[in-house]
Amino acid sequence: MVVALECIYSCERDDQLSLCYDILECLPQRGYGPETDITASLHDQVDKLEKHLSVVEVLEKHGLQKPISYVKNSQNSEEEAHQLMVKLCRHTGRKNPPVSETVWRGLLQDLLDMQQNVYTCLKPKTCHQVFVESLLCSSRVENVRLAGQLMHCSKVSQDVPVSLSFRGKGCALKVAYDNSVELVLAAAREYFNSSTTLTDPCMGLARTCLQLITDCPPTIQEELDLINALSQLEDFSVSILPLQVRLRSDRLSLIEECIAHCSTAYKQSTTLLSLASLLRVAGDDEATRKGQVLTLLAEQALQCLDFKASYIHCQDLMAAGYSQAWEVCSLLGQCEGYGDLEARQELLAFSLTHCPPDNIHGLLAASSDLQTQVSAVPSNRASAPTVGSPVGTAGDLLHRTTAKTMEVLTTTGLTTKAVLTAVSDHRWWKESLNYLRPLQVHGSGATSQKGACENSNLERQGCSPFYQELIEDPYVDLVSGFQTSVAHGSLFFLPFTFLLSLILLSYLRPPA
């Protein structure tokens, strides 16, 4: 028996299985002859040999031949045992023509028998996971669906423990839900990464794998969304490999490519926001994602001189309080071609609120210029007729007012030209500023000096003329009384009205 065992285990050829069985049949059976410790040990070794030969037989049946020595040397190595079962399953999956479902079910039972007889270092659930993983990666839809029958596809599904025997039982021990999700994700990503286009058959297999998990957790949904994003990228003529999409760290750059390929992309905000969501732009931060996309759309609309569309996007950005949009808002607010002055004021106000400190000065100057333009608008509309005023028909009104309008325009043009000519002369400014120097009415200087002498000893309480009736024997301060004079509309307010007019004149520019 010792010689027979040594001969069998020392053979390194993988085509000697039949001879090994012939030698085994020649050995004495247990129970014949005297029973000693040595014979008992030899019979135990023969029993192990039978199990080793059964594994070699399974491997040979499925076309993966191994010598008996390999089985003996790997029986206690978990890593080698796992690799052997993976090779056996993958080898079966690559057969052409593809094997039937019956063969696959028989293979699972063979794996479980190998684990029970020899490779006890592995757990039965490990064999089951290896088998399901091979089904998922077999590149055949029917095998993927068979794998779905051997997994828990939702958290609420019930795991019913059954016999490990697969024959005639209808269902074996199912893969746990968490492990099922991991296996499905690994297979789907492998198919996705190997695809060349959205229409690649592997992409359909990836989707089929992901759809096995019925409750669709976030990780599964993210993979499905990535597949759906590819179709929208194609709609915008963005040519890119699926693997490149997955590896792109800055997903916002894909949105930029879509906008670059489509001149009217700014009119498709809903589609691009949906695409950004599928690509997980800015991760799970929906507010930042929306702000980044709308900012790009507002910039493109501004470049296309579609000020209304750009303002609509800017309105959404301002309503959301997206501070990074201050720059595009400032560009639109300073755009002279955009005639909505109130909208431009709103845009500049938002920009001033959120811009860096270095940009405040320039935006304040732009806002000041815009405010001057807005202040001039009501004066131009003051003579407009009120709603409901009695007028004739449109034709009669046009006939009656055309001549008068032309007369007013001619006079206005001459007056404007004269004013611009005058304000361009520095002597006119020198004479005009002389009117600002006497800020008080006649005799105010003498009265002020006289009053100061009267109260030099500070015995009387000083006050504004507005309060002089409330205090007994007050000292009236005419300088502080200026405010009262303004409140009563006296002549003290006239120099300041004149000063405001001069400031407005300084903004006038003669026509080129």
Report yes or no on 293 lying in a domain.
yes
SS (H, E, C) 43-83: HHHHHHHHHHHHHHHHHHHCCCCCCHHHHHHHCCCHHHHHH
Report yes or no on 498 lying in a domain.
no
Report yes or no on 325 lying in a domain.
yes
Give the type of residue at 21.
Answer: Y
What is the rounded distance in angstroms from the CA atom of residue 167 to the CA atom of residue 105? Answer: 8
Tokens 């109260």 belong to residue: 455
Report yes or no on 275 lying in a domain.
yes
Percentage of residues in the chain having pLDDT higher than 90:
58
What is the rounded distance in angstroms from the CA atom of residue 441 to the CA atom of residue 495? Answer: 11
Give the CATH number of the domain where residue 250 resides. Answer: 1.25.40
What is the rounded distance in angstroms from the CA atom of residue 512 to the CA atom of residue 147? Answer: 81
H helices present in 158-217, as ranges: 177-194, 201-210
Mean predicted confidence (pLDDT) in 367-383: 72
pLDDT at position 441 over 60: no
419 half-sphere exposure, CB direction, 13 A CA radius: 15
Please indicate, yes or no, whether residues 223 and 312 belong to a single structural domain of this protein. Answer: yes
What is the rounded distance in angstroms from the CA atom of residue 24 to the CA atom of residue 57? Answer: 14
Domain that includes residue 235, residue range: 216-377
Q: Please calculate the CA angle 328-330-334 and round it to the nearest 5 degrees.
A: 120
Tokens 């955009």 belong to residue: 338
Report yes or no on 468 lying in a domain.
yes
What is the rounded distance in angstroms from the CA atom of residue 390 to the CA atom of residue 497? Answer: 36
> pLDDT-based confidence at 21, cuts 50/70/90?
confident
Based on the structure, what is the number of domains in the chain?
2
Give 155-214 pLDDT, tens digit per residue. Answer: 887 544 544 434 444 345 899 999 999 999 999 999 999 999 999 999 999 999 999 999
Mean predicted confidence (pLDDT) in 480-489: 46
Across all residues in the chain, what is the average pLDDT? Answer: 82
pLDDT at position 467 over 90: no
Q: Please calculate the CA angle 329-350-365 and round it to the nearest 5 degrees.
A: 80
**What pLDDT, on the 0 to 100 scale, is given for residue 462?**
79
Of the given ranges (107-116, 259-268, 468-477), which has the lowest mean pLDDT?
468-477
What is the rounded distance in angstroms from the CA atom of residue 348 to the CA atom of residue 330? Answer: 5
What is the rounded distance in angstroms from the CA atom of residue 113 to the CA atom of residue 164? Answer: 9
> pLDDT-based confidence at 479, cuts 50/70/90?
low
pLDDT at position 302 over 80: yes
**What pLDDT, on the 0 to 100 scale, is given for residue 459?**
76
Which has the higher per-residue pLDDT, 397 or 505?
Answer: 505
pLDDT at position 55 over 50: yes
Q: Please calculate the CA angle 108-110-114 and round it to the nearest 5 degrees.
A: 120
H helices present in 137-200, as ranges: 141-149, 177-194
Report yes or no on 19 lying in a domain.
no
Mean predicted confidence (pLDDT) in 264-269: 96
Mean predicted confidence (pLDDT) in 389-394: 42
Report yes or no on 336 lying in a domain.
yes
Please indicate, yes or no, whether residues 347 and 464 belong to a single structural domain of this protein. Answer: no
Largest CA distance in the chain: 150
pLDDT at position 401 over 80: no
Give 303-322 pLDDT, tens digit per residue. Answer: 999 999 999 999 999 999 99
Roughly what angle, to the nearest 10 degrees, separates helices 394-423 and 494-506?
90
Other CB atoms within a 10 A radius of the CB of residue 201 amount to 11
Q: Are 184 and 190 in contact (CB under 8 A)?
A: no
Q: Which of 257, 270, 343 is nearest to 302 (CA)?
A: 343
Q: Which of 118, 120, 144, 121 is nearest to 58 (CA)?
A: 118
The DSSP H or E segment spanning 415 is: helix 394-423
Please indicate, yes or no, whether residues 366 and 451 belong to a single structural domain of this protein. Answer: no
pLDDT at position 33 over 90: no
Report yes or no on 26 lying in a domain.
no
> pLDDT-based confidence at 463, cuts 50/70/90?
confident
Please indicate, yes or no, whether residues 358 and 477 belong to a single structural domain of this protein. Answer: no
